[in-house]
A = this chain, B = another copy of it.
Amino acid sequence: MVAAATRQQIVEAADRLFYERGFEATSFADIAGEVGLSRGNFYYHFKTKDELLDAVITHRLLKTRSMLDIWEAKSKTPEERIVSFVNLLVVNQAKIMAYGCPVGTLCNELAKLDHLAKDRAAEIFSMFRHWLSHQFIAFGREAEADALAMHILMRSQGVATLAAAYRDEIFVRNEVENMRAWLAAQRPGTPVLPETLS
């Protein structure tokens, strides 16, 4: 197999296993086994686990960029685009209930390890944050765009953590609905509705 293709397979397997089992709990042997490679050969492609982590973060940044571009192209209005983000909680519900949010859990783990890559992992958050902020500007909320982006990012993280703890579909559905209602209430000039939860 061509080196580049093998490398890509390793990165994708590591991406999945780091998400499903965690960074520390995933060994080179696990990944090699997944790809069908010998442990020894692994080191031809990645010298250290940190180098692999770096490649995984880069891969996630690229995947995220691509997803945001698709949302951007698919929807006409900024509100629809932000709803695409909110809907991630529903689209990926099964995985989130099993393993939490891939970004939040990685950032948490790397923070505890005080890992050099912790700030690079947080850049995945920043990619969502800046895209959301951009949407809130187009939405007509320029002054508070970043705070609104952080607010909705915060909510999605909270829902993901409790979804993994309780594995309660109804809770996820309710909070996604609250987020949509909150978003609608953010329309400039919209009279504040008597929302119960948001």
Interface residues of A (CB under 8 A from B): 20-22, 24-25, 98-100, 104-105, 107-109, 111-113, 121-122, 125, 144, 147-148, 150-151, 153-159, 161-162, 164-166, 171, 174-175, 178, 192-198
Q: 12 A-B residue contacts at CB 8 Å?
A: A21-B113, A24-B25, A99-B111, A104-B108, A107-B165, A109-B109, A150-B162, A151-B197, A158-B159, A192-B193, A192-B194, A192-B195
Q: Which residues of B contact A144 (CB under 8 A)?
A: 196-197
| Contact B112–A100 (Cβ < 8 Å) | yes
| Contact A161–B157 (Cβ < 8 Å) | yes
Partner of A98, one of B21, B111, B166, B192: B111
A144 CB → nearest B CB, Å: 6
Q: Which residues of B contact A104 (CB under 8 A)?
A: 108, 161, 165
| Contact A154–B158 (Cβ < 8 Å) | yes
Q: Which residues of B contact A159 (CB under 8 A)?
A: 154, 158
